Structure 1
Amino acid sequence: MKNSKPQHKPLLALSLALLSLGAQATEGGGGIYPNGNENFLVGAMPPPGSYVLAYAGHDHLTSLRDNSGNKIDLPFDVKATFLATRIVRVTDTQVFGGQLAWHVIFPLVNLNVDVAGNRESKFGLGDIVFGPGIGYHDGNLHYVFALDINAPTGSYDKNRMANLSRHYWNLEPLFTASYVQPSGVNADIKFMYDLNAENSATKYKSGQEFHFDYALGWGFGNGWVAGVGGYVYRQITADKLEGASVAESKGQAMGFGPSIKYDNGKGFFITAKWQQDFNVRNRAEGGGLRLKFSIPF
C-alpha cells in the first residue's frame, strides 16, 4: 500500500476501539482518546487526598467521511456506551512548585457495529490509562501539566470489526487549564498530543495527533454554570503501514454543543454535554453525550 489511497475497510473497522471511550482516522479511523470527553473543571486539581471521578456517555456514529469530507456511500451505524472510573491520588509532594498527583482510568465499553448489514457487538474493559501530573493554582486560574500512558489492555482481534482496544501503546503529554468563579465567566481547555506505537498485529502505525477539548460558560452564583463545549482534532503526521506512508490518511474533526455544570460546594459536581461532529475528514461522524461527576468519600 505504498503511497496509495487507504481502502475503506480500515475506516469501517473503525476498530472502534471507541477506545477507552472514543472513536475516529489513523488505523481503523479511531483514536486512543474520546474527543470532547472533558468539560468544566478539567484543570482544577483538588487538595491532597484520594478522589474518584466517573465518566459516562453514549456515541452514535452514522456516517463515514473521506479525505475531502464527502460522505462515503455505505450503510454505517455504530453505537458505543461507556462508563470509565478514574481514581486520582493527589500527594503532599511538591515538584517544580506544584502538587504531584497520579491517576488511573478503567473504562468499560459496550460497542455495537453495523456496517453494510454486517453486525458485531462487544462488551468489556477497554484500554487502561495511567500517569502523573503536576497541578498549580493562581487565584481563579488552575492548571496541570501531565503525561498519560495508554496501555493496550482491552480485547482485540485484527479480523474483528468491534474491538475494545487499539492494540498499541500510546504516550499523551497534555496541559489543562481552568478559570473558575461562582459568578461570571468560566473557561476550560485541555491540550493533548498523541505519540502512537505500532500495532504489532497489523504492522500499522497511526500518525501523531494534536487535539483539544474546551468549555466556555457563565456561572450564576448558585452552583450552576451553563455554556458550550466541544473539541478540535487534527492528525499531524501520516499513518504508516510496514514503514511506508499511507496517502490521504490524515484525519480531522470538530465537535460543538451545549454544556452545563453543577457544583454543590461540598465535593460533588457533575458536568453534562451534548456535542455534534462537523468538518470531518477520514473519520466517522455523529453525535454524543458526555457526563462527568465526582464521588466524594
Structure 2
Amino acid sequence: MAGVFALGLTGPAWGFNQPPTNLSATTFLDGGAPPGLYYINYSIFFNGRKAVDHNGDVIGGGAKVDALTQLHQLYYLADVELLGGRLGFDVLLPLVAVTAQGALFDTIPVTANTAGVGDFLAGPALQWDKGSLLGRPVFQRVESDLSMPTGKYDKKRAANPGNNLWTLDSYYSFVWLFTEKWETSARLWYAFHTENRETKVRPGQRLHFNFAVSRELLPKLRLGAAGYFLRQVADDKLAGARQADSRERVLGLGPGLVYSGGGLTAMLSHPVEFLGQNRFVGSRTTLQLIHRF
C-alpha cells in the first residue's frame, strides 16, 4: 500500500529516502472478509513535527512537513480456492497533498507545497479462513504488491506525491479472535526498491509491521490500540555506492476504535511516533472506511 509522500534527498549519510508505505493504515480485524468486491477509502494525515538523524537527534533547520493522503482501494476476493485459500486481487491509487517548510542540517531547504496523484499499486492475494489457535478462529492472508512509478514527480522538488521507482512489497497478515470479545491483528512486510533514475538513489530494503488489539464494547463498537514499527535493513545506495548511516527506523503507537453498521465499517487510529532515525517523526491519524458491494 502506498503511504504519504516521497522526500528525495541525494547526499552522503542523509537517509530520508524510504518510499511511503502502510503505517497503521490497516489496523483492527485485519482479515476474515467474505468473498466479494470491496471499496476501501483511507484518509491519512501525517504531521511530521521534526526531522531526526541516524542517532535520533533533532536535525537543525526546523524542517517540518504535513501531508494529507486520500487512498482509494478496490479489493476483490473470489469464491475460488487455491492452495486451500481464496484468491484475491488488490488495486490502489493515492491522491496526495504535501506542505513542507524549513531546512535540514540548516542548509538543505525542504520547502514544498504540492499535490497530485501518487503511485499506482496492484497485486494478488491469498486468504485462509479456516485456521484456529488454542481453539479460537484465525484468519490469514498473504499478498505481494507492486508499486509503479506512475505518480507526479519532479526531481527539483523536495517532496513529491510519486516516488519515481518501483517497489515490491509483500506481506503476511493474521487476525486472531482469542476470546468472544477480544481480537489481535498484525501485518508483516518486506520491501525491495529499484533505483530512482533521476537522483541515482536506491533506498535500502525494509522490514515493517502493523499491530493492533481491540475489544468489543457494544455490538457495533470496538476500542483498542494500534501501532507500527519500521526498520530499514540495508543501506541506501547513491550511484551504486552504499551510504553509511542512512537506515531509517520508527515506532508508532496510539488509540483506535471500530464502528460497524449499515453496510459500512469505519476504523480510526492515531499513533504517535517514537525512536525515529533518518526521517520525519510526528503523528499519523487514519480514518478507514470499508464498503462491501
- AA of the residue aligned to 1:125: V
2:122: which partner in 1? Answer: 130
Task: Find out whether 1:254 has 2:251 as its counterpart.
Answer: yes
Task: Find out whether 1:33 has 2:21 as its counterpart.
Answer: yes
Q: CA-atom RMSD, angstroms?
A: 2.1
Aligned residue pair count: 278
TM-score of the superposition, structure 1-length normalised?
Answer: 0.88
Taking the TM superposition and a 5 Å limit, the aligned residue runs for 1:1-297 are: 20-21=3-4, 28-44=16-32, 46-116=33-103, 119-138=111-130, 140-180=137-177, 183-264=180-261, 267-297=263-293
SS at match of 1:193: strand
Identity of matched residues, %: 26
Q: What per-residue deviation string (whole Å, max 9, x for no partner) do you get for residues 84-113 of structure 1?
A: 111011112211010000010111111111
TM-score of the superposition, structure 2-length normalised?
Answer: 0.89
Q: What is the Cα deviation at residue 79 of structure 1?
A: 0.8
- AA of the residue aligned to 1:189: A
> In structure 2, how many angstroms separate the alpha carbons of the residues matched to 1:99 and 1:172?
20
Give yes or no for contact 1:61–1:79 (8 Å, CA) kept in 2. Answer: yes
Distance 1:222 1:22, change over 3 A: farther
Distance 1:55 1:35, change over 3 A: same
Q: What per-residue deviation string (whole Å, max 9, x for no partner) do you get for residues 113-170 of structure 1?
A: 1124863211111011110000011363111011011111111111111211111001
Give yes or no for contact 2:129–2:140 (8 Å, CA) kept in 1. Answer: yes
Q: What per-residue deviation string (whole Å, max 9, x for no partner) do you get for residues 39-81 of structure 1?
A: 112223x222211111112111011111111111211121111
> In structure 2, how many angstroms separate the alpha carbons of the residues matched to 1:235 and 1:90?
31
Q: What is the Cα deviation at residue 19 of structure 1?
A: 5.4
- AA of the residue aligned to 1:245: R
Give yes or no for contact 2:5–2:162 (8 Å, CA) kept in 1. Answer: no
Give yes or no for contact 1:184–1:219 (8 Å, CA) kept in 2. Answer: yes
Distance 1:22 1:136, change over 3 A: farther
Q: What is the Cα deviation at residue 181 of structure 1?
A: 7.4
Distance 1:61 1:173, change over 3 A: same
Q: What is the Cα deviation at residue 30 of structure 1?
A: 3.6
Give yes or no for contact 2:36–2:292 (8 Å, CA) kept in 1. Answer: no
> In structure 1, how many angstroms separate the alpha carbons of the residues matched to 2:171 and 2:111?
36
> In structure 2, how many angstroms separate the alpha carbons of the residues matched to 1:92 and 1:173?
22
> In structure 2, how many angstroms separate the alpha carbons of the residues matched to 1:118 and 1:170?
24
Give yes or no for contact 2:176–2:184 (8 Å, CA) kept in 1. Answer: yes
Distance 1:199 1:27, change over 3 A: farther
Structure 2 unpaired stretches of 5+:
104-108
- AA of the residue aligned to 1:247: A
Give yes or no for contact 1:275–1:289 (8 Å, CA) kept in 2. Answer: yes
Q: What is the Cα deviation at residue 190 of structure 1?
A: 0.6
SS at match of 1:100: strand
> In structure 2, how many angstroms separate the alpha carbons of the residues matched to 1:180 and 1:127?
34
Give yes or no for contact 2:44–2:284 (8 Å, CA) kept in 1. Answer: yes
